Chain A
Amino acid sequence: MTRERAMVPRAEPRSYYGQPVLKQPVWSPEVPFYFFSGGLAGASAGLAFAAALSGNRELERRAWLNALIGLSVSPPLLVSDLGRPERFLNMLRMFKVTSPMSVGSWILAAYGAATSVAAGSELTGLFPVAGRAAKLPSALLGLPLATYTAGLLANTAVPVWHGARFTLPFVFAGGSAASAGAAATIATRPRHAGPARRLAVGGAAIAVGGALVMERSLGQVGEPYRKGAAGKLSRAAGTLSLAGAGLIATAGRRSRAAAIAGGAVLTVGIVAERWAVFRAGFQSAADPRYTVGPQRARVERGEAPGAARKACTNS
């Protein structure tokens, strides 16, 4: 006996009264702002370290200050997102590689310690030996600090996040580079800010281009980036990032005002990109089509056995 249903892929996945299969994330607005502040902090430490190597003292000091600012707002944002903030220290109760949030908490803790010493010493002149010793660890830990948040989102059942596990880290890496570059472009006199401008422009290009690649590679699952709040945020992120980067690239070297304006616009663009990714996850979890559709297709194409088995003896 043949069944039509098995032969022809359905246009519309079935559902239970349109109810979502997945739960909406419970994360609050603090979380996308932390994605931004953590990325800013992480990439700024790297920029400061690289600036020091090239002998650019002014850029180095400004970038350490930016790293310290990004760092100082991050833990409060994370703690306030918790359902039980008074238990935030339980985050360091264990170390689990299967949980990017666990690993990320340790990265942030270690980065926080290193950066407090490195940047604090740089800005106050106290404890110069410890300060010098802390700079390399701070710069190295800043790199995964900027990208683990992408892995944190990808390591869920939410289709638009999980399907982007190879692309989202590059969007966040580009966004972090753009954030650090923009902040340093704002804070540094133009004749010392060349590396910051190049980091801002290059980071913006990677962030915007990476988001396009991510959306394309997700196919149907990437639809939230074209619809609703996430769609608006995504378009705003692209426009503002490119406008800010364009201003920095064209006029940032000659005019301090243009550098500050371009850096500010780019910063808003990157914040919008974090928000677009965040909101897209909610839209993705809310619609059962995004969950059921790809799963049913996998089963019907024979790529996965699925979880349901009929009796093997029927005629």
Chain B
Amino acid sequence: MSHRVLTLDTRASGASYGESAKPRMGFFTDTSICIGCKACEVACKEWNQVPDSPGEFSGKSYDNTLALDANTWRHVAFVEQRKPLGADAAAEDLVQAAERANAVDGWGLQTYQEGDGVRWLMSSDVCKHCTTAACLDVCPTGALFRTEFGTVVVQQDVCNGCGYCVPACPFGVIDRREGDGRVWKCTLCYDRLRDDMEPACAHACPTKSIQFGELDDLRERAAQRLERMAEAGQTEARLYGADNEDGVDGFGAFFLLLDEPEAYGLPPDPVATTHHVGQVWAGVLAGAAALGAGIAAAMIGGRR
């Protein structure tokens, strides 16, 4: 539809697809309309044939998976909060509250979770497909690579299970699968994208909380959604990872959240270690030089 092709402004891992480059694709997960049905989790498992996650009853709301890992590539978080919130909570008086409530109805902006001073925040988390992806940058084998869609994918026939990507990811997404030895994570349904299909989770989402598309379009749509929510009094709404100014230079899969990121288990200021790799090497070389100097100094004074 458009001629916008992939140009990723990363110093470390530029994409070089030339003619075959595609527009950068991604997810906009609007958590304000997530109903916590977990259809995304199920669809992801089914399509990608991800092994089950043998869970126990966690006692943490409706969440027994608790985090993304090698066998969970979409994870729905359930946050229970007991505080007066919603559009009318920000109003000065009852009249204004009623007006705001009307505005909310008019815009069709209700979130499903609110009512009676209790709110449920539900959010379907996923790999962020970072612009500067630490997992990809630290991978010594090249198993992790940047696709023509700008997404980050593991080549399972190359991964040797060194595990470096696991602590490198600032979101704790990628993990090694037990009994398999390789690392696994969301591929943004690379196989489906190559056949012009949307990823399984977005396809299964009944409320369009998970939206798939060209990243530029999604960012535009998300900005409009945020403005409308603010006008209707939802001042706690915020976009997470929707521009290039953060520590990973923007997410390929970004979010609209109704609270601070850490309430959902997301880092408020994730930074790709790649941005500091120059300092890391400076430290290594300084240490090596100090060792050389130390050895030389030890020779002073002769053999006794």
Interface set of A (CB-CB < 8 Å, partner B): 1, 13-17, 19-27, 42-43, 46-47, 50-51, 53-54, 56, 59, 81-85, 87-88, 90-91, 93-94, 96-102, 105, 143-144, 146-148, 150-152, 154-158, 161-162, 165-170, 172-174, 176-177, 181, 191-196, 198-199, 202-203, 206, 253, 281, 285, 288, 291-292, 295-296, 298-299, 304-311, 313-314
Say how far B96's CB is from chain A's closest CB, in angstroms: 12
Q: Give the residues from 152 to 204 in chain B that come closer than 8 angstroms, CB to CB, to chain A.
A: 158-164, 166-176, 180-183
Nearest-neighbor residue (CB-CB) of B279 within chain A? A165
Count CB-based A-B contacts (< 8 Å): 321
With beta carbons under 8 angstroms apart, the residue of B66, B140, B247, B298 that contacts A202 is: B298
Bound CA span A94–B286, Å: 25
Instruction: Check B139 for interface membership: any CB of A closer than 8 A.
Output: yes
Q: Are B288 and A307 in contact (CB under 8 A)?
A: no
14 pairs across A/B with beta carbons < 8 Å?
A: A21-B170, A21-B171, A83-B160, A83-B181, A87-B161, A105-B140, A156-B167, A169-B288, A177-B295, A288-B265, A304-B247, A307-B251, A310-B230, A311-B226
* Contact A43 B160, beta carbon cutoff 8 Å: no
CA distance A307 to B181 in the complex (A): 32
Per a CB cutoff under 8 Å, which of B63, B237, B245, B248 touches A311?
B237
Q: How far is the CB of A27 from chain B (nearest CB, A)?
A: 6
Q: Are B268 and A308 in contact (CB under 8 A)?
A: yes
Q: Across the interface, do B161 and A194 meet the contact criterion of CB distance under 8 Å? A: no
B160 smallest CB distance to A (angstroms): 4
Interchain CA distance A88-B140 in the complex, whole Å: 11
CB of B284 within 8 A of CB of A310, answer no
Given contacts A22-B169, A87-B158, 16 further A-B contacts (CB under 8 A): A17-B60, A23-B166, A23-B173, A54-B302, A87-B159, A87-B160, A96-B139, A100-B281, A143-B289, A144-B285, A147-B288, A157-B169, A167-B283, A195-B301, A313-B231, A314-B230
Chain B residues contacting A206 (CB-CB under 8 Å) are 290, 294
Contact A155 B261, beta carbon cutoff 8 Å: no
> How far is the CB of B120 from the nearest CB of chain A, in Å?
13
Q: CB < 8 Å: which of B63, B242, B262 contacts A13?
A: B262
Output the nearest chain B residue to A177 by Cβ-Cβ distance.
Answer: B294
Asked whether B276 is an interface residue with its Cβ less than 8 Å from the other chain, the reply is yes
Q: Is the CB of B268 within 8 A of A295?
A: yes
- For A59, give the chain B residue with the smallest CB separation: B303
Cβ–Cβ contact B284 & A144, under 8 A? yes
Are B172 and A17 within 8 A (Cβ)?
no
B residues 204-233 in Cβ contact with A at 8 Å:
226-227, 229-231
Residues of A within 8 A of B247 (CB): 304, 307
Interfacial chain B residues near A100, Cβ < 8 Å: 138, 280-281, 284
- CB of A253 within 8 A of CB of B141, answer no
By Cβ-Cβ distance, the 8 closest A-B pairs, closest first, are A83-B161, A83-B181, A169-B287, A16-B265, A311-B230, A87-B160, A147-B287, A102-B140
Interchain CB contact under 8 A, A157 and B288: no
- Cβ-defined partner of B235 (8 Å) among A81, A96, A295, A310: A310
B35: interface (CB < 8 Å): no
Report whether B268 and A84 are in contact in the complex, using a CB–CB cutoff of 8 Å: no
Residues of the A chain whose Cβ atoms lie less than 8 Å from the Cβ of B140: 90-91, 94, 96, 99, 101-102, 105
Contact A88 B160, beta carbon cutoff 8 Å: yes
| Interchain nearest-CB distance for B257 vs A (Å) | 7
Contacts of A288 in B (CB 8 A): 262, 265
Minimum C-beta distance from B276 to chain A (A): 6
Collect the chain B residues with CB atoms within 8 Å of residue A166's CB: 279, 282-283, 286
Residues of A within 8 Å of B160, CB to CB, are: 82-85, 87-88, 90-91
The answer to the question of B296 belonging to the interface, with a C-beta cut-off of 8 Å to chain A, is: yes
Q: With A27-B163, A307-B240 given, is the CB distance from A169 to B283 under 8 Å?
A: yes
Size category of the B interface is 35 or more
Q: Does B79 contact A (CB under 8 A)?
A: yes
- Binary A-proximity of B247-273 (CB < 8 A = 1, otherwise 0): 110010000010011111111111101
Chain B residues whose CB sits within 8 angstroms of the CB of A27 once the complex forms: 163
Q: What's the Cα separation between A288 and B261 when bound, in Å?
A: 12
Contact A156:B168 (CB < 8 A) given known A143-B291, A165-B276: yes
Residues of A within 8 A of B12 (CB): 98
Q: Which residue of A lies closest to B181 (CB)?
A: A83
Chain B residues lying within 8 Å of A102, measured Cβ to Cβ, are 140
Cβ A154 vs Cβ B237 within 8 A: no
* Contact A199 B268, CB 8 Å, known A26-B175, A99-B137, A165-B283: no
Question: Which of B172, B183, B238, B292 is the one whose CB lies under 8 Å from A308?
Answer: B238
Q: How far is A25 from B166 in the complex, measured between Cα atoms in Å?
A: 6
Q: Is the CB of A97 within 8 A of B281?
A: yes
Tell me whether A309 and B243 are in contact in the complex, defined as CB-CB below 8 angstroms, given that A83-B160, A84-B182, A292-B262 are known contacts.
Answer: yes
A202–B294 CB distance below 8 A: yes
Asked whether A198 lies within 8 Å of B168 as measured between CB atoms, the reply is no
Known interface pairs A194-B304, A310-B237, A311-B227. Does A93 touch B141 (Cβ–Cβ under 8 Å)?
A: yes
Contact of B95 with A by CB under 8 A: no
Contact of B90 among A1, A157, A193 (CB under 8 A): A1
| B86: min CB distance to chain A, Å | 15
B163 touches A295 (CB 8 A): no
Q: Report the separation of the CA atoms of residues A232 and B180 in the bound assembly, to the nearest whole angstrom.
A: 33
Cβ B230 vs Cβ A157 within 8 A = no
User: Is B246 close to A, CB under 8 A?
Assistant: yes
